[in-house]
Amino acid sequence: MSDDLLRQIKLQGAVPAHVAVIMDGNGRWAQRRNLPRTAGHQAGMASVRRLVESCLEAGVTTVTVFAFSQENWQRPPEEIDALMALLQEYVSTQSAELTEQGVRVRMLGDLTPLSPPARQAVEFVERATAGGTKLALNICISYGSRAEITRAARRLAEDVAAGRITSDEVTEQAIADRLYTAPWGDPDLLIRTSGEFRISNFLLWQLAYAELYVTPTLWPDFGRREFFEAVLDYQRRDRRFGRVTTA
Ligand code: FPP
C-alpha cells in the first residue's frame, strides 16, 4: 500500500527538497501503553530510522528534526538523561548504516550544555558521515529558534562593530547566513505529529513559506506510509510565496 503512495509521489514530480519534522507525542504513546515516557522516546528513535529511509526513497534531500528543545532541559533529570543516552545509542547503532546510506548527519543547537560523552557522540557521527551526499539529516538538539536568531543578531552586531560589514549589509540574507541552517536553505514542508497546531520555537525564520502538515498520529506510530501521505498532501498544495497566480 505505501509502495502505491511512493509511485504516486514519483508521478506527481516535485518532491519537497527540505522537510522539517516536530516529532511530538512520544510521552502520550507511552502513557497509553502504561509504559514509562522513556519507552516512548525509544520507540520514537525507531521512527527516526524509518523517516530517514522514507526520505531516501522519496528523493527528499534534507530533513531537519526537532529532537530536544532548549525548554526540554526543564524536564525531570531522569528523562533528560534517558534522551541523552538515546542520542548516544542512536549514534552508536546507526552511524555505520547512515554512512552506507549516504546520509550526512549534523547536530544543530547550543551543544555547550551536553555532557562530554554526548558531545563526543555528536562529533563522532558528524565526522563518520561527513562524506554523505544523498540526504542531509539535521538533528536539532538543545535548540531554540529565538536563541538561534539572537545568536545571528549578536554575530551581525559584532561584525558591524569590528568594521567587517556596514549596517547596510545587515540584510535578510546576512541573517539567514548566520543561522545554523545556512547550508541547507528553508524547509518546504513542516510535519508535526500528535495533532498540536504549534510551531514551538522551531525554525521560526526558516518556516516563513513552508507548507504545514499536522497529523494526529503520535511520533512512534509515524512510519513510511504516514510520511508518504504527508508528501502527497504537499504535492497537492499551490505554493505562491505571497504572489498571485495567473492560472
Ligand atoms: C516529543 O514528545 C519528543 C521529544 C521531546 C524527543 C524526541 C526524541 C526522539 C524522537 C528520540 C531520539 C531521537 C534521536 C534522533 C536520537 P513528548 O515527550 O513531548 O510527547 P508528549 O507531548 O506526548 O508528552
Give which of 124, 30, 105, 23 is closest to 72, Cα–Cα: 23
Interval 81-96: pLDDT, tens: 999 999 999 999 999 9
**How remote is the CA of residue 220 from the centroid of ligand 1, in Å?**
9
Angle, nearest 10°, between helix axes 224-235 and 37-58?
Answer: 50
Q: How far is the CA of 137 from the centre of ligand 1 (A)?
A: 17
Rounded to whole angstroms, how far apart are CA atoms 108 and 85?
Answer: 18
Q: Per-residue pLDDT averaged across 204-214, rounded?
A: 98
| pLDDT (mean) for 97-108 | 98
What is the mean predicted confidence (pLDDT) over 18-34? 98
pLDDT score of 245 = 65
15-143+187-234 fold? Undecaprenyl pyrophosphate synthetase (3.40.1180)
Contacts of 126 (CB under 8 A, 6+ apart): 105, 106, 107
Q: Quick one: average pLDDT of 55-72?
A: 97
Is it the case that residue 246 has pLDDT exceeding 80? no
Q: Over range 129-149, report the average pLDDT.
A: 98
Q: 240 pLDDT band (50/70/90 cuts)?
A: confident
pTM: 0.96
Could you write out the DSSP letters of every residue in 132-155?
A: --SEEEEEEEEE-HHHHHHHHHHH
pLDDT-above-90 percentage for the chain: 95
Nearest Cα neighbor of 231 from 47, 56, 25 is 56
The single-letter code of the amino acid at 128 is: A
Calculate how far, in angstroms, residue 202's C-alpha sits from the geometric centre of ligand 1. Answer: 14
**Whose C-alpha lies nearest to ligand 1, atom 5?**
68
Residue 35 burial (CB count, 10 A): 13
Nine-digit cell string for 131: 562524506
Mean residue pLDDT of the chain comes to 96
Distance between CA atoms of residues 183 and 189, nearest Å? 17
Q: In ligand 1, which atom is closest to the CA atom of 44?
A: 10
The one-letter amino acid at 69: S
Q: Whose CA is nearest to atom 8 of ligand 1?
A: 67
Q: Work out the number of other CB atoms within 10 angstroms of the CB of residue 126.
A: 14
pLDDT tops 60 at residue 247: no
Local confidence band at 243 (pLDDT 50, 70, 90 cut-offs): confident
Residues labelled as active-site residues: 24, 72
Residues with CB under 6 A from ligand 1: 23-28, 37, 41, 44-45, 48, 67, 72, 86-87, 90, 139, 194, 219
What region, left, alpha or beta, does residue 243 occupy, with left being phi > 0 and alpha being psi -120 to 50 degrees? Answer: beta
**CA 143 – CA 141 distance, rounded (Å):** 5
